[in-house]
Amino acid sequence: MSEPKAASLLAQSIPSTYADVPAKRGALYKQVLKRLKNNKRSLLGLWMVSLFIFIAILAPWISPYDPLEQNMDKLLQAPSLSHPFGTDEYGRDILSRIFYGSRISLMVGIVGVVISVVFGVAFGTIAGYFGGKIESVIMRVTDIFMAFPGFLLALAIVSVLGPGMVNLMIAIGIFSVPSFIWITRSAVLSVKNKEYIEASRSMGAKHRRIIFKHIIPNSIAPIIVLSALRVATAILSASGLSFLGMGAQPPSPEWGAMLSAGREFLRTAPHLSIVPGIAIMLVVLGFNLLGDGLRDALDPKMKV
């Protein structure tokens, strides 16, 4: 009984404009966790993502075969007990290749998005916080990047850099930078003029301190949501580029590349194409569910 009373007294003594500031962050965090737990979709997403992360980490131990080991006696076998997803045109075990392939897809997706977040958040924060000329230059350049359909831009980048994993990650990274710039800038703009930031500025805080202590923590929610959704897009695009032969190269068990190689045998051994596609879909679905759930938990009205 005494506790709420004390809290309400406290609330009265603090001007209301300060009431929604950092002090409440702990409570907000708890509330978000609770809402996440109550959201079946996001839990399912979290489970799916965790499952794939586990598979990626444990691939060497849980794979029944070496993903690159060829077996000329067992070409293009249909799914069976010894090869649950069958074998490919070199007699390699598809299940093992799918397990190892999750390492590639998750790495490309996550590293790619980390690249986008680093650049996107940096430029977005600068644009939003400082405004003026810097902002218009950054936003103009962003507009230009956005004038290219994203997938084509990534394709153009890998085509000049040459195929390969590193170039694939760079291309995928650049592909998402504009959307992170946009989202960060608008998040920063919406908190920039809040009273607590003006207060901190009036007390002589340096730009760096204001940005890292106040602006970024208070605009992080949409960035987190966008990151989860963008990992999904990145994995999808990376597999598309690999499908076109622009990403991971043949012996590597990349799902898109596997699917592309399997096309030749579509009539006789459709599982070669179907299975990697399902793997891509499930991991992408997991990240999409997680992103949706995070948005619902953090702020259902968020525009991401």
CB of residue 24 to another protein, shortest distance in Å = 18
Q: Min. distance of Cβ 298 from another protein in angstroms?
A: 15
Query: CB of 256: closest distance to another protein in angstroms?
Result: 7
Question: Residue 231 Cβ, how far from another protein at the closest point, in Å?
Answer: 12
Output 151 or 196, the one with its CB closest to another protein: 151
Q: Which residues bind another protein (CB under 8 A)?
A: 140-141, 143-145, 147-152, 155-157, 159-162, 232, 236, 239-240, 243-246, 256, 259-260, 263, 266-267, 270, 273-274, 276-277, 280-282, 284-285, 288-289, 292, 301
Kindly tell me which of 71 and 159 has the beta carbon lying closer to another protein.
Answer: 159
User: Cβ closer to another protein: 208 or 303?
Assistant: 303
Cα(22)–Cα(4) distance, integer angstroms: 20
Question: DSSP 3-state assignment of 93?
Answer: strand
The residue among 92 and 295 lying less far from another protein, judged by its C-beta, is: 295
Contact 191, 213 (CB under 8 A): no
Residue 169 CA to its chain's centroid (Å): 13
* First and final C-alpha spacing in the chain: 41
In the structure encoding, which two tokens stand for residue 105, read together?
A: 């897809």
Identify the residue whose tokens are 């939003």: 128
Closest-CA residue to 259 (of 250, 268, 67): 250
Tell the smallest beta-carbon distance from residue 285 to another protein (Å).
Answer: 4
Query: Which residue number, 197 or 232, has a Cβ lying nearer to another protein?
Result: 232
Write down the least CB distance from residue 187 to another protein, Å: 19
Closest to 142 (Cα-Cα) out of 176, 95, 192: 176
Tell me the three state secondary structure of residue 87: strand
Beta strands in 55-205 (DSSP E): none
Residue 146, exposed/middle/buried by CB under 10 A (0-12, 13-18, 19+)? middle
**CB closer to another protein, 112 vs 129:** 112
